[in-house]
Amino acid sequence: MIETGKSINGIEFGYSTLSDVKEKYASEIISDTITYKCPHTDECGTAYSKVNSLFIKQSGIVFQANYDNGELIEQVRLYSPFKGKINNLTQIELGKTTVKDIYTSYPNSKLTSTNRKKYWIIKNDNISFLVTRLTTDNDYPIEHNQIENRLIKVILLNPIRKRMYVDFENNCRIPLFAPKDEQHRNCYVEKHKGGIYYINIGGESSYKNVKNGYWKEYYPNHIIKEEGNYKKGKKIGEFKYYDKNGTLIRTKKHRRFLFW
């Protein structure tokens, strides 16, 4: 079941990772692949960034990860033979669902087109339905009833855009991949880039944000990876390191030199 902008079959935007997908769909054949970060279509060419993705052919689902971290689910693409419900209301079966079916459920949808004119796009909040655009079709704009019997070919699911929790006053944020109940915040502090010898070019800042205070880092499966203290970007004192099952595998003490 799809919760628009939130999740699909329990995989949550902004929280679930490629590791979670592999666990959720462990009984199916999963292919690691690379796709392009196309905002409005499923094919956009090399002008866009490559991202890690998982393709589950049997279910007709492509899970696309975030470009910055390579793991968090950011977009989902649905192809035939996908079957499922949207918001526990609209039944979808790619290969059978038509433009008319979509407008019955979403009468206020916006109909537009891709720049490459491959698809017509039926847009709603956080979801787009792609319909094959024929060379004989009239130019944009058109009315949806002109293509109402055409089949939906691809569905794009996008997240509700939420800022990762950030304490702006203290420059702290939730650790990446942290479990939902994690209350700890990793913090940063500004540090001069190069002491008195740093040369400022082009008006860029002379400072950079570096790790500071107690830090926790997690694996993409939301298990603790390491934890310990930083002082202006340098590890100090005892650090603990864990395997992907959360078992402590080693500790290491980091010395703090006087010039830090």
pLDDT on residue 33:
96
Average pLDDT estimate for 152-163 = 88
In the chain, pLDDT over 70 holds for what percent of residues? 90
In angstroms, the CA 154 to CA 131 distance is: 7
pLDDT tens digits along 38-72: 888 998 878 889 999 999 999 999 999 998 899 99
For 46, the 3-state DSSP assignment is helix
Average pLDDT estimate for 113-124 = 89
Give the chain's length: 260
In angstroms, the CA 20 to CA 17 distance is: 5
pLDDT on residue 257:
56
Q: Is the pLDDT of residue 260 over 60?
A: no
Contacts 24+ apart (CB under 8 A), 164-170: 164/14
pLDDT tens digits along 160-175: 976 555 665 678 999 9
Mean pLDDT of the chain: 90
